[in-house]
Chains A and B, each alone.
Chain A
Amino acid sequence: MPTALIHNAPNNRCPAGGEYVWRMEEGVAFEDPRRISDREMRQIVLSEEEWERIFHLGSTINIVDNLLLHVEDGSSVISEIEEILKWLQSNSIVVLETTEVCEYLIEYPDIIDFLLSVSDRVRKRFVSPDQLSLELYNDPEIDDKYLTLYVRQEHYGDSIMDVIDSISAEYEEELSGTSGWMIVTTDFAPPR
């Protein structure tokens, strides 16, 4: 079982660059932030907002209280999904057809953690997208559906697909182990 020890980072701040994770080695952790590099690390990553929310109060008690608020709902699927919906909302990610997205997450719970991680990466790479929209794509020709995070802009630059491809390359290997599926793309449409 991968574990991570919690230490205060210098100045209680998330290091520049986004995610903060803990290096793990046989159950021993070090204060060594680094980028996500494998599946195990992804499972414990805290986004910058989570980090700030948890650590800005400083004291250990507050840290633990905040973490408990975040994670103690271990046995409830719905509370975890509602937490993610709130996170998406607070980060201005539109969820069209929320009921369908929720039903998909209930059916494929192993993609829940992944959705958070990918959405956070996309949000940071597109510093000011006009719209990020999470939708459930339903293939009309075959019985297949998957989550789609659309990047929509008023004016599309030439490099948008390159950026999307580079994000996709980061997560596709991780995604191969899950029963659900998710893609990041654009339909070159204006924000809805």
Chain B
Amino acid sequence: MKKRYKNPPIQEAVCEFRLKPDSKWDITVPGLIYEKLREEFPNKKKRINRGIQKRQTSKDSKGEEYQIITDERIQFLAKDKKSFVQIGSGILSINCLDPYPGWNLFRPQIKHGFDALTSVVEFKELHRVGLRYINRIELAGTRVELENYFQFRPFLGQDVPQEMERFIVGCELLPDGKTDICRVQLTDARPRKSGNAGFLLDIDYSPRQLQNISADKALEWVEQAHNQIEKIFEACICDSLRKIFEEVE
């Protein structure tokens, strides 16, 4: 049975669709998508994003160069500015910020965004699909015993000094054994209140290989990805955190 929380730690949920580089994308696409979404996402903003790209400059392996690229993304924000659609070149994401309204409300937003994309751009396959949940957990006190709160945590071994200033632990899991990959990462984070300890539990789910998702199966994949993320999230935490999040019936 799926668990529900009164105070979920989700700071941001993101569902991202990337089109193949040869898709029929041009500069009119964001405007056309906006027309489809403007009732639910009426406010526009821009955001600069940085990325990295490999480029082959000659046939041998020495001819590889990596490029930092910057691109502008347009955000279409809902009236409450807590959810928005972001559009970059060949990319559409649907983002939902804290307070997370729940899957039953986030899922229709994803569908709305994806439907707008498919109605404007013709494509058969996606280059990548991803569903990501970033959870922020804040605990009272600067010294926290991680094993009291997290099943997923760094293991140091008894001879290693146990005091940690900062930490990062991550794994790429194969939840279904073959087709998908789930990157789970736990790090310390800057606490919002002084005297507290902050943590980020980041769960990022995507197909293991590129070009694996046909457009008509994309939303079905997203639903399955969400089910897996819920299971993995629950597996990463202890009951003491469930009490803090306040489980509801």
Interface residues of A (CB under 8 A from B): 1-6, 40, 43-44, 60, 63-64, 67-68, 71-72, 74-79, 82, 85-86, 88-89, 95, 98-99, 102, 106-107, 109-110, 112-113, 179
Q: How many residues of B contact A (CB 8 A)?
A: 41
Residues of A within 8 A of B81 (CB): 106-107
Question: A82 to B66, Cβ gap below 8 A?
Answer: no
Residues of B within 8 A of A82 (CB): 134, 136, 189-190, 200
Shortest 9 CB-CB contacts between residues of A and residues of B: A78-B12, A75-B93, A109-B47, A85-B190, A43-B70, A71-B50, A75-B16, A78-B11, A99-B192
Smallest beta-carbon distance A146→chain B, Å? 17
Known: A2-B70, A44-B50, A74-B73. 19 other contacts (CB 8 A): A3-B69, A5-B65, A5-B66, A5-B67, A43-B70, A71-B68, A74-B50, A75-B86, A76-B134, A77-B97, A78-B12, A79-B202, A82-B189, A95-B190, A102-B192, A106-B81, A110-B46, A110-B48, A179-B45
B157 proximal to A (CB < 8 A): no
Contact with A along B187-217 (1 / 0, CB 8 A): 0011110000000101000000000000000
Residues of B within 8 A of A40 (CB): 70
B49 proximal to A (CB < 8 A): yes
Question: B64 to A72, Cβ gap below 8 A?
Answer: no
Cα distance A99–B68 when bound, in Å?
30
B21 proximal to A (CB < 8 A): no
Residues of A within 8 A of B73 (CB): 74
B232 proximal to A (CB < 8 A): no
Residues of A within 8 A of B200 (CB): 82
Residues of B within 8 A of A4 (CB): 67-68
Residues of A within 8 A of B189 (CB): 82, 85-86
Contact with A along B52-79 (1 / 0, CB 8 A): 1010000000001111111101010000
Residues of B within 8 A of A64 (CB): 52, 54, 66
Residues of B within 8 A of A86 (CB): 189-190
Question: B68 to A44, Cβ gap below 8 A?
Answer: yes
Residues of B within 8 A of A43 (CB): 48, 50, 70
Question: A63 to B93, Cβ gap below 8 A?
Answer: no
Q: A1-B70, A68-B52, A79-B134 are in contact. Are A89 and B190 (CB under 8 A)?
A: yes
Residues of A within 8 A of B202 (CB): 79
Give me 24 A-to-B residue pairs in the complex whose CB atoms sit less than 8 angstroms apart, sorted by A's number. A3-B67, A3-B70, A4-B67, A5-B65, A5-B67, A6-B66, A6-B67, A6-B68, A40-B70, A43-B50, A71-B50, A71-B51, A71-B52, A74-B49, A74-B73, A75-B132, A77-B47, A77-B95, A78-B11, A79-B12, A95-B190, A109-B45, A110-B47, A112-B48
Smallest beta-carbon distance B53→chain A, Å? 8
Question: B71 to A1, Cβ gap below 8 A?
Answer: yes
Picked from A60, A74, A179, the residue with its CB within 8 Å of the CB of B51 is A74
B14 proximal to A (CB < 8 A): yes
Q: A75-B91, A76-B14, A89-B190 are in contact. Are A110 and B45 (CB under 8 A)?
A: yes
Cα distance A7–B248 when bound, in Å?
54
Cα distance A72–B16 when bound, in Å?
13
Q: A5-B65, A5-B67 are in contact. Are A75 and B95 (CB under 8 A)?
A: yes
Smallest beta-carbon distance A154→chain B, Å? 21
Cα distance A60–B200 when bound, in Å?
29
Residues of A within 8 A of B52 (CB): 64, 67-68, 71-72
Question: B191 to A98, Cβ gap below 8 A?
Answer: yes
Question: B70 to A67, Cβ gap below 8 A?
Answer: no
